[in-house]
Structure 1
């Protein structure tokens, strides 16, 4: 891995409803960027992102996977989050670690429960948002109606950046809206020339000088508009809509270019957290440049108890440089710990790296008492970042061991799993003396029990 300047790092979450094709899209992005030699498949169990046995069994994501690729001089961290509402905790973890959220929509199913939730949650987190209409090669795609529904639900700021050259099995690629060809393919469900004005209006809204020129002269060059897109997207006056068929990798090169060009830099974290970091609780954190020259600050957004590696804590670097030479301070506890090495993650594999910078997502192994939401730093004067909010688990079951004598082992195993899942809780009922597990749903608790069996050989 080459060392990238923080301005060339992008950290992005893929979120949305189940079966919208997020994981297939992640595999397609990796393959298109030549990060992998062969495109993975959810169906045959070769996906780089979905590698857990339970994910192979069900053919859907359960945890957020950490991926990365390099493209057009940018280093892109991809966090592929589950789409089932049952595993919403993992999706919210991903949003806590990124600057940009890509909300994936099935061209067939349209806007669903988790589509709305992830779009709104990304807005609450102050993230840059992009929409991807995936599965444009499927049957029964009603494209104009879907665009109307998106704009009715999320606002007119959602504008097409490209359109399919056809819908259904004939879909081969996309046509630019900003720079449409003279001859539009006859299969386009929407004429890009006819919707171009919506895109231009949205772009110029965030730039007064450009708006004045547009109103005065009635036109702007493609180069002028292209140069203003990133600013408009980060400002939220534009939410781009891109079209793909991930299995075919159709529309994926254009999306990859957009992610490299329009998604926010790590500096966007300063915009979101700057008011909190400057002077909060009497602390003044050197966050002005959000780069390696500032004080190190990071946040733990995910933890895993790996049977081979041990405790893995995933850290998003917010400012400064992290290396193994300095003891890592847990701001919550005030305790420090040595870090043996930093790990860059690609699905189920990892690679040691000497250091990490703002925007990077890395893992550290065997550092005890690090929990989701913990702030990590080098300085004892570092601020403690606000703890992320997660939904309270409301679905409860009383459980007992299959084999007598396993009560304590099961309790310990479940508590370890609870450490890595903020939507799962373990309690003891004081009146009935029963062990009670609480989660989001029956499916959620079924997966928890499968993990207990797999990791600790307990039922």
Structure 2
């Protein structure tokens, strides 16, 4: 395989809502370019990208794939990404190494909820973005509606470069208003004939051409001057203006395709090669805060964006060359670990197929094998080079499950399997909760977690099942109470004696000082499980020696970690130790720890204890047709609606919902909206639970202790 200089490399993230046809478009582009002699199909399970068994079974992308093609001397690396929200972790790493984005829209439905998410992801990475209206041969196709929706959602920078001669069964030609040419396709698709624009469409073509010229000129002063001077821009001036507009995210050109029939892909590849930026033309953020541009002449540097493993090969590391050139056997340093690494064989990836290469230049994407302790987000470069790129940001989880091992003795095997899966899929978060005594997986949706279950059962041969995880409740109090406990024990030899009097009350930000007690010192403790403990020493007259005060605090903390009411951790409490007594011989730290623990427990239970539950702020994005059903469902889940926003036909609902009510919510949301809605969540705070839930949790605790 030949080596490509940086100026002849394009890295394009290919994104689209499930069913938009992006994988089919990738397959068509590779075939049309001559980089593959056969065009695979999803139905025949023969695509280059969706090659995993689970992808063939589901007939959709589950994992991101790296593909490449040669279009007239330019290497186009396509980063094909999943369209289902459950697998969007694979979108994050692809966008991190892409230099432009191509979002495929189904002209049947226009801008869908998934499209919205892809747009925001590209926007966050400041990626030049082009839009593809696909499936124009569908009887439901509505190109103008798709354009209108895109402009409504993404702004007036959406610029029509092509429009269909006709739609539905009669689709056979595309009018290009940049080149002012009509492309007419053979019935079976493939290379089109270039024809003059028919008289019946000339007025529409000229109108759109002028709109495109004006959009380009508005974003470049030199081109604006030329436009005013000549009343027109030539094709090459328009190309330059489009490139600048795309780099600044001021212009988002829209093209037409019927990917399934191989109509329109050649023009898109030509545009990518001629207009979209090469890797040197974008500024990239680094950990130091300075921006960085890919430098073909610089010291070799790689950014690792994906790790996988294959049974017959071992660990595979996918990377982008950020500076210089890399060859087999080169020594580099992992900036995260400080380890020195030697690069093994280098490959160019075409889905599951890999072709060995001798060298990869700056901007190119490749894969190598058996790099120890290297994972997604790592920067590899020379020892003296302090360059380190920003890590990849993955989506926040939306669902959680607990793992139940069915075979005793497989704990280590499970731990190793989860470590490997988490390394390959950083959007999965594994939590070993000592508090809940469970291993909890946090994922992006039920489909995502089902893939993890499939991996555990089939790849790692583990007998496991997923169960509902426990809720990490908290305990607190709602009023002040006094407590006293005398610990006295005599069993031959030295005895134990300690007496503690304390006051317990709810703590809150800005709580006034106690003027009824002689507060000698205060400790504010930020609890690792959230909230505070404020511990006040109010002892006067030396009735308790200072050396026993840490033991008293230790007893209080021990009981807070397994709360007096339900065994859940306690928070937001102020304890004032104001009296007590000790014995010159029998008092010791153990005695005072016990006395404090029991006094705290007594006071807590007399202070109107309250169980708290974790609350999450959620944002649901959905088509307007389903607003009523989703709002009604949120109310049934004890949700507090914070607000609603509208962006065209896309609606957003913000609400506060208890974690307990969010189990399986992604599944319910898909069911209510026919898979068209998405949601994200983040921890908000703890809040009081209803009395019936508090009673149930306490009863369950008592029954488990019995």
Please tell me the TM-score bracket, short chain as reference. over 0.9
For the pair 1:193 / 2:198, whether they are aligned, the reply is no
Q: Distance in 1 between matches of 2:252 and 2:433?
A: 48
2:66 maps to 66
Equivalent position to 2:457, from 442, 445, 453:
453
Q: Distance in 1 between matches of 2:276 and 2:458?
A: 38
Q: Distance in 2 between matches of 1:361 and 1:434?
A: 40
Q: CA deviation at 1:16?
A: 2.1
In structure 2, relative to structure 1, the CA distance for the partners of 1:369 and 1:159 (3 Å cut) is: same
Contact 1:160 1:240 in 2 (8 A): yes
Q: CA deviation at 1:185?
A: 7.7
Q: CA deviation at 1:189?
A: 12
In structure 2, relative to structure 1, the CA distance for the partners of 1:148 and 1:31 (3 Å cut) is: same
Equivalent position to 2:369, from 351, 365, 369:
365
Contact 1:398 1:435 in 2 (8 A): yes
Equivalent position to 1:238, from 238, 242, 251:
251
Q: Distance in 2 between matches of 1:267 and 1:183?
A: 37
1:214 maps to 227
In structure 2, relative to structure 1, the CA distance for the partners of 1:167 and 1:29 (3 Å cut) is: same
2:388 maps to 384
TM-score, normalised on structure 1? 0.93
1:374 maps to 378
Contact 1:297 1:382 in 2 (8 A): no
Q: Distance in 1 between matches of 2:61 and 2:124?
A: 24
In structure 2, relative to structure 1, the CA distance for the partners of 1:125 and 1:456 (3 Å cut) is: same
Equivalent position to 1:335, from 327, 332, 339:
339
Q: Distance in 2 between matches of 1:272 and 1:305?
A: 28
For the pair 1:443 / 2:447, whether they are aligned, the reply is yes
Contact 1:167 1:189 in 2 (8 A): no
Q: CA deviation at 1:56?
A: 0.4
In structure 2, relative to structure 1, the CA distance for the partners of 1:394 and 1:145 (3 Å cut) is: closer
Deviations, residues 349-382 of structure 1 (Å, cap 9, x unaligned): 1111111111111111111111111111123432
Contact 2:213 2:232 in 1 (8 A): no
RCO higher in structure (CA 8 A, sep ≥6): 1
Q: CA deviation at 1:107?
A: 0.8
Q: CA deviation at 1:227?
A: 4.3
Matched ranges for 1:114-129 at <5 A: 114-129=114-129
- Larger Rg over CA atoms: 2
Q: CA deviation at 1:3?
A: 1.8
Deviations, residues 312-369 of structure 1 (Å, cap 9, x unaligned): 1101111111112321211000101222211111111111111111111111111111
Structure 2 regions of 5+ residues with no counterpart? 182-195, 464-706
In structure 2, relative to structure 1, the CA distance for the partners of 1:222 and 1:435 (3 Å cut) is: closer
1:136 maps to 136
Q: Distance in 2 between matches of 1:400 and 1:171?
A: 54
1:88 maps to 88
1:167 maps to 167
TM-score, normalised on structure 2? 0.61
Q: Distance in 2 between matches of 1:183 and 1:88?
A: 41
Deviations, residues 211-242 of structure 1 (Å, cap 9, x unaligned): 01212332233343244332332232221101
Q: Distance in 2 between matches of 1:80 and 1:298?
A: 21
Contact 2:402 2:440 in 1 (8 A): yes
Instruction: Report SS of the residue matched to 2:233.
Output: coil
1:290 maps to 295
1:272 maps to 284
1:409 maps to 413
For the pair 1:176 / 2:206, whether they are aligned, the reply is no
Structure 1 regions of 5+ residues with no counterpart? none
Count of equivalent residues = 449
Deviations, residues 218-268 of structure 1 (Å, cap 9, x unaligned): 223334324433233223222110111101011111111111112210102
Equivalent position to 1:317, from 310, 318, 321:
321
1:247 maps to 260
Q: CA deviation at 1:391?
A: 2.0
2:147 maps to 147
Deviations, residues 382-422 of structure 1 (Å, cap 9, x unaligned): 22222121122241111112333323212211221011112
Instruction: Report SS of the residue matched to 1:79.
Output: strand
Deviations, residues 270-300 of structure 1 (Å, cap 9, x unaligned): x234xx48xx38xx99x67710x21112211
Query: Mean Cα displacement is larger for which, 93-102 or 433-442?
Result: 433-442
Q: Distance in 2 between matches of 1:350 and 1:209?
A: 45
Q: Distance in 2 between matches of 1:410 and 1:233?
A: 47
Q: Distance in 2 between matches of 1:245 and 1:58?
A: 23
